[in-house]
Amino acid sequence: MFEAILIAGPTASGKSALAIALAERFGGVVINADSMQVYRDLRIITARPTDEEERRVPHLLFGHVDAAINYSAGQWIADARAAIVQVRSQGRFPLIAGGTGLYFKALLHGLSDIPKVPEEIRQRVRADAEGFATPDLHEQLMSRDPLTATRLKQNDRQRILRALEIHAATGRSLTSFQSQRGEPAIDPARCRCIFLAPDRQQLYARIDARFDAMISAGALEEVRALGERGLDPALPAMRAHGVPGLLAYGRGEISLEQAIEKGKLDTRHYAKRQFTWFRHQLPEFEWVAPEAARAAVTGPVDGPVA
């Protein structure tokens, strides 16, 4: 017996289609576990479920966050816990689908107990970082928190800034908090964990075709509207795959063809990292070919079955 289904996999592997099909089958609700699909500004470029798909079954935690928010894994796990309680109180079945490995690790193993950084400190750190190249910020972190700095790549601006914020707020290393984990939201023994593992070359072809379809569907206009908001370029929404390249095109820095190729390449690289991350971090997930996934997920389940 299991009380939730977790569906993970690389981008463009068919997670949404599987989640919707199983939600219809088991009387379920799809809960988002993708860190970019939470942003309401980015429906097209993040391949969020369509209006028609959302009418087929209920969806939660999609497009509920403004792009100006630096939405964290801690905020997501709190929202996900509330969503799971809501779904179960309605007598329905939770299906949690997405590609963000940290979200699934938080669900099954708990999240590091990192304190919330006051907004004024976060803004001060970000303001002080303006004009500095990312390797320079890495050197600053090395002088303040060498333990964390040695674990981060010199070009990982977002994580470097996060570590600087934590140190500025607490005077402690980010690494010192990461060993302290909260309670898991779901018992791994009480859920079914599926990782969709398509053939790599077929997946890369799907990524490229989907990006072209996004451009045709209005992704360029969507990203242009985001850029016109003048948000901090270090915010997660501003770094969604495809966004930096299309913004650069809008500024006249590169051609549209170069922006599209950059978006495709960044997405393919991300898919490769997703394979690696889940293989090493979440052994609970059963790897299944997408074409065999629906047949692989069979009852019994706790809760109503359609």
Cα–Cα distance for residue pair 260/216, rounded to 1 Å: 12
Q: Tell me, what's the pLDDT at 244? A: 97
**pLDDT for position 299:** 52
d(CA 125, CA 301): 48
Give yes or no: residues 271 and 189 share one domain.
yes
For residues 131 and 104, membership in a common domain is answered with no
| Last-in-domain residue among 178, 201, 222 | 178
Which residue do the tokens 């960044």 mark? 266
Q: Which domain holds residue 168?
A: 119-178
In a domain, residue 305? The reply is no
What is the largest distance, in Å, between two alpha-carbon atoms of the chain?
58
Q: What is the pLDDT of residue 2?
A: 80
Using alpha carbons only, what angle is made at residue 55 by residues 52 and 57, rounded to the nearest 5 degrees? 120
Q: Do 17 and 84 share a structural domain?
A: yes
Non-local (6+) Cβ contacts of 118 within 8 A are 169
Q: For residue 304, tell me if it sits in a domain.
A: no
Q: Do the domain assignments include residue 301?
A: no
Q: How many separate domains does the chain show?
A: 2
- Residue 154 and residue 138 in contact, taking contact as beta carbons nearer than 8 Å: yes
Domain boundary among 129, 154, 178: 178
Q: Look at residues 142, 159, 178 and tell me which one is the last residue of a structural domain.
A: 178
Q: How far apart are CA 57 and CA 28, in angstroms?
A: 7
193 and 156, same domain (yes or no):
no
Q: What is the per-residue pLDDT for 114?
A: 79
What does each of the 306 residues of the chain score in pLDDT, given as a tens digit? 688 999 999 999 999 999 999 999 999 999 999 999 999 999 999 999 999 999 999 999 999 999 999 998 989 999 999 999 999 999 999 999 999 999 999 999 988 777 888 989 989 999 999 999 999 999 999 999 999 999 999 999 988 999 999 999 999 999 888 766 778 889 989 999 999 999 999 999 999 999 999 999 999 999 999 999 999 998 999 999 999 999 999 999 999 999 999 999 999 999 999 999 999 999 999 999 998 988 887 654 544 333
